[in-house]
Structure 1
Amino acid sequence: MTTPEPSSAPATESPAAPVLSVRGLGVRFRMRGGRHIAAVTDATFDLAAGECLALVGESGCGKSVLASALLGLLPANARTTGSAVLRGAGPAGAVDLLTADERTLARTVRGRRVGLVPQSPAAHLTPVRTVRSQLAEVLREVTGVRGPALPRAVEAAAERAAYPADHLDRYPHELSGGLAQRAATALALIGDAPLLLADEPTTGLDRELVDRTADELRRHTDDGRALLMITHDLAAAERIADRVAVMYAGRIVELGPAEGFFGPAGPRHPYARGLLDALPERGFTAIPGMPPELGDLPDGCAFADRCPRVTDLCATLPALTPADGSSVACHHAEERVDA
């Protein structure tokens, strides 16, 4: 069920006309006993053609729920608010992904206007069919390729995702996690959808394949398509992202250019800085404490209990506001990092 919500002001917009405009997106799950869990709250961003936005954060922060909302793949106990408008030229037109019916999503959006690299690829592959037959089916449906050209098109689709041709006749249960990931990526890239959602696209891959997959996704973007990459892999995000959005406890707490985020100045939000400091090459310093339960969020800043800068101001919820070229939800965003 979707209900309207007042639009939020966009934060650190992409420079070109957006393919996707998300305003005030919220997802709440109704649990037994009437309890609600706010998995995503007031997410607002634009994503332009030719741009990669990396959505990063710890497990359970709401990243994958946001992607599922965009594709209409939430469970029945989910309630969404806000809007997520996918724009298109010609007869395709604009569609609000949060209010579109299942027929529209299944026939004209998923796989055609929006591609998905799923977080759990094995669960999205048909278990009783080989990878070759699944690639062939998607090629026929999405691109119309048939006849003598189809076998070569299948091999080209596999090669694009570094999926080995001598494994095309294997079934999903015969694949390693990395091979399943590459098969899912190959399926998602067919048709060159204007928007690609890649949910942990480098899971299970060694560093060489991570870089190759990231570079292919970047080429997909450089050809004029939009990419929303949900990832724990900050090295992959640094390699290909134009902007970075950091989620914590269901909210975007920082949104800005990747160059600044990964550069000498670094991010402005203490949580975002903590994510970088936890990397082996940057000190390997873990963020103390644990994220709050999404069903029991505080009234103020959700990061306050783990934050070295916490003051009485943090008892009130900070808004996402401009700060040094980015948008940051922190009362202390303008303070010096080493303060």
Structure 2
Amino acid sequence: MNLLSLQRLSVRFRLPRGVLVRAVSEASLELRPGRVLALVGESGCGKSVLASALLGLLPANAETRGRAVLADGAELLGAPEAELAGRIRGRQLGLVPQSAHTHLTPVRTARSQLVEAIAALRGPLGAAELAERVGLDPADLDRYPHELSGGMAQRVALALALAGDPRIVLADEPTTGLDRPLVHRTVDLLAETAADDRVVLLITHDLAAARRVATDVAVMYASRIVESGPAEQVLAEPWHPYTAALLAALPDGGFEPIPGHPPALTELDRVEGEWGCAFCSRCPDRPGFAPCTGDPELVELGDRAVAAHAPC
């Protein structure tokens, strides 16, 4: 049974003078217990907007459509703020934010913030138990945020995300600013969290971190998911040229940068209309300057899915 199902979720932002930002387009995902689903892609492709939509934290100029359904049938999109604040956030969906240090209140100890979260969410574990669960010495909870190392602050942020005992953990770029050993420890902790009948949605541009712990991968480009499936299959044998290009940009993939830049999210309708695929202008499979005959819609093939494209 899926703990959360996303069905063609789209997010648009209306800006002055009729400008429309297409931040997320037709995203479909299934979050299953005991799994780590890594949502990967370059910065600015819409990954964090998707997480904000699930938590009901989008600004007033956002427009959403599609569905995001919990295992109990509750619909997240369009849910009243009272329901999101009282029953969803922290209790069913926990958030590990970007930049843990800036997320913590600087004038209060980690313990006071964690105790407050446990009380507000009526969590089943105490502060010391949560600290030990995330690999933090309970004595470190008496430190102020500026006294915590990057790894310690990240552990406090994870403890806060688990304070209400949610079964779904959204980790939004949790390794930003950490060195590689701390990245490994952070994602390993997240993987241990998923092993206890929970699911982790790991939102990251760090493909190496995703490869370390993910059981499933969804690759996002210019607001769309272009490929998804079991991590060991997608990362070993990518079907979409964008996934292949991301892997080729890694040190062990040859350090080959992807040429060009992603299209602006305000230009996607025009780009897809002209080229057929938003990745077309950067695609190594494209013959010469010919438009791609691909279709951004995902095609399901067994337990994998890929956006159709036309290799030369």
TM-score by length of 1: 0.84
Partner residue of 1:248 out of 221, 242, 257: 221
* Secondary structure in 1 matching 2:142: coil
Matched, 1:129 2:108: yes
Pick which of 105-114 and 220-229 moved more.
Answer: 220-229
Residue 303 (1) aligns with residue 303 (2): no
Identify the residue that residue 204 of structure 2 maps to in structure 1.
231
Task: Give the Cα–Cα distance (whole angstroms) in 1 for the partners of residues 60 and 66 of structure 2.
Answer: 18
Residue equivalent to 1:118: 97
What SS does the corresponding residue of 1:318 show, helix, strand or coil? Answer: strand
Structure 1 residue 221: Cα displacement? 1.2
Question: 1:229-259, CA deviations, whole angstroms, 9 ceiling, x for partnerless residues?
Answer: 1012222212221110000000000011111
**Which position in structure 1 is the counterpart of 2:298?**
320
The answer to whether 1:34 aligns with 2:18 is yes
What's the secondary structure of 1:186's corresponding residue?
helix
TM-superposed CA distance for 1:187, in Å, is 0.8
Aligned residues: 305
1:156 and 1:174 map into 2 onto residues whose CA distance is 21
1:184 aligns with 2:157: yes
Measured in 2, the distance between the counterparts of 1:323 and 1:304 equals 22
Percent identity among equivalent residues? 56
Contact 1:178 1:203 in 2 (8 A): no
Unaligned runs of at least 5 residues, structure 1: 1-16, 89-93
CA contact (8 A) 1:122 1:180 kept: yes
> Alignment partner of 2:39: what SS?
strand
Greater shift in the superposed pair: 76-85 or 229-238: 229-238
| Alpha-carbon distance, 1:211 to partner | 2.2
Pick from 224, 227, 232 the counterpart of residue 259 of structure 1: 232
Query: Is 1:108 the counterpart of 2:108 in the alignment?
Result: no
Q: Which residue of structure 2 lines up, in the alignment, with residue 292 of structure 1? A: 263
After superposition, give the CA deviation of every residue in 1:120-166 in whole Å (9 maximum; x if it has no partner): 33343233321110111122233456xxxx8xx32332233344545
Alignment of 1:271 onto 2:232: no
CA–CA separation in structure 1 for the residues paired with 2:242 and 2:192: 30
* TM-score for both structures, normalised by structure 2: 0.90
Residue by residue over 1:264-291, the C-alpha shift from the partner in whole angstroms, topping out at 9 and shown as x without a partner, is xx21111111111111112111111110
Of 50, 66, 74, 2:50 maps to: 66
The one-letter code matched in structure 2 to 1:115 is: G
User: Does the CA-based 8 Å contact 1:160-1:216 persist in structure 2?
Assistant: no
Maintained 8 Å contact 1:56/1:232: yes
Separation in 2, partners of 1:324, 1:309: 24
CA RMSD of aligned residues (A): 2.1
